[in-house]
Chain A
Amino acid sequence: MNETTWQHALLDAITTPQWQPDPRFPAGALAVYRNNYRVGLMEMLALVYPICHQLLGEEFFEALSREYVKATPSASGNLHRYGGSFADFVAAFEHTAHIAYLPDVARLEWALHRGYYAPDATPLAIATLAAIPQQHWGELRFCCHPACAVLDSRWPLADIHAHHQPATAGCAVDMATAQPLLLWRDSDGLMQLHQLAPGQAAFCQALLHGATLDDASAAGLAAYNEFDLQAALLLVLQHGVLSAIKEPS
């Protein structure tokens, strides 16, 4: 067995969910590696999903994260990329499936986590936009800031988030209220939540997906017939959602 084969066999023995004795590796030593691998990923989940952790409690979250790690190998050498399918996992897992808002809370936390580590981008200069002839505005498509995300949720995500922050801990949450969110990163590099008005989620989502301004406006109007286009445009300009104008292809 050459060294590469041996290394792959060792990695497999460390990451495989079920313990299998392997004559090539001393059981005691392998157990240390297996434990470190599992505990490292579980602790990462607790860091990425602090609200889910608080919602479920220490013991439950730990047991849940153990199940997730068993079912989900790490696909990247970068631990910050681990855990993106946690929302789908809790939506399907039999002991969490009844907590209907939990997957969206996990999606919020994943978007905040990925947004924090997303590459930097300069916001679009207002002058650049103003310099384009008005008759072409509708055809414009944009590159958006990589940290931005839209969560079009039927749950009160802003309130649930606030409920679990030290400064606003325990504030009231009305589960009947939908709070779609725009996530953006401020000039200090911190992720911020902005609660979206009706139609704005569809508008912002379309822009993030590279739609033209005309199509994004139509998406906003289709979602809500009294959609305030001017407020939505101001919102994306002020929060640095738009980063550059895409060349027409």
Chain B
Amino acid sequence: MSATSKTLLVSALSAAIAMAAVSAPAAAADKEKCYGIAMAGKNDCAANGHSCAGQSKMDKDGTEWKYVAKGSCTKMNGTLEPMKK
């Protein structure tokens, strides 16, 4: 690394350290981390894909693909095909 970019890093990091010190992110210490907790909506048996959910739903084993996307990809910008680059 050249001497110029060394100086650049030192001045940039000095400034960043000074700025980060006054606007430090909220300390994790004031929160209790519940490791492994499920995301909202994913925390019950029926929603978490466990097999007990499966029995309520019979899957049809489709062999032929005849589906057309009908979600928001057809509405976003009014087109399914993104702009050609």
Cβ distance B74 to chain A, nearest Cβ, rounded Å: 8
A214 to B3, CA, bound (A): 11
Residues of B within 8 A of A (CB): 1, 5-6, 8-17, 19-21, 23-28, 30-31, 33-37, 39, 41-42, 47-51, 53-55, 57-59, 61-62, 65, 67-73, 75-77, 80-83, 85
User: What sequence of 0s and 1s flags, for each residue 212-249 of chain A, a beta carbon within 8 Å of any chain B beta carbon?
Assistant: 01100110010000000110011001111000000000
Tell me, in angstroms, the Cα distance from A213 to B20 when the chains sit together.
Answer: 17
Kindly list chain A residues whose C-beta atoms are within 8 Å of the C-beta of B65.
63, 67, 95
Contact status A117-B36, CB under 8 Å: yes
B34 touches A189 (CB 8 A): yes
In the bound complex, what is the Cα–Cα distance between A214 and B19 (angstroms)? 20
Chain B residues contacting A53 (CB-CB under 8 Å) are 71
Decide: A237 near B71, CB < 8 A? Known: A39-B57, A43-B49, A137-B13: no
- Decide if B13 touches A213 in the complex (CB within 8 Å): yes
CB atoms of A40 and B50 under 8 A apart: yes
Residue of A nearest to B56 (CB): A39
In the bound complex, CA of A232 to CA of B35 (Å): 29
- Check if A187 is an interface residue, CB within 8 A of chain B: yes
Whether A175 is near chain B, meaning CB under 8 Å from some CB there, is yes
Interchain CB contact under 8 A, A217 and B25 = no
Interface size on A, residues (CB 8 A): 74
Q: Is A21 positioned at the interface, with any CB of B under 8 Å from its CB?
A: no
Query: Quick one: closest A residue to B33, CB to CB?
Result: A120
Judge whether B20 and A126 touch: CB under 8 Å.
Answer: yes
Q: Which chain B residue lies CB-closest to A164?
A: B72
* Chain B residues, CB < 8 A from A238: 20, 23-25
**New A-B pairs, 11, CB < 8 Å, besides A35-B54, A59-B67, A237-B16:** A36-B54, A47-B48, A54-B72, A55-B73, A58-B71, A99-B73, A126-B17, A188-B31, A233-B12, A234-B15, A238-B24
| 4 smallest beta-carbon distances between A and B, as pairs | A36-B54, A57-B71, A44-B49, A57-B70
Chain A's interface: helix, strand, loop or mixed, by majority?
A: helix
CA distance A230 to B28 in the complex (A): 24
Question: Is residue A142 contacting chain B, with contact meaning CB distance below 8 A?
Answer: no
Question: In the complex, which residue of chain A has the Cβ closest to the Cβ of B11?
Answer: A230
Complex interface bits, A189-231 against B, C-beta within 8 A gives 1, otherwise 0: 1000000000000000000000001100110010000000110
Chain A contacts of B8 at CB under 8 A? 217, 229
**Contact A38 B49, beta carbon cutoff 8 Å:** no
Contact call A100/B13, Cβ cutoff below 8 A: no
Interface mask (A160-177 → B, CB under 8 Å = 1, otherwise 0): 100110000010011110
Residues B82 and A101 in contact, CB atoms below 8 Å apart: yes
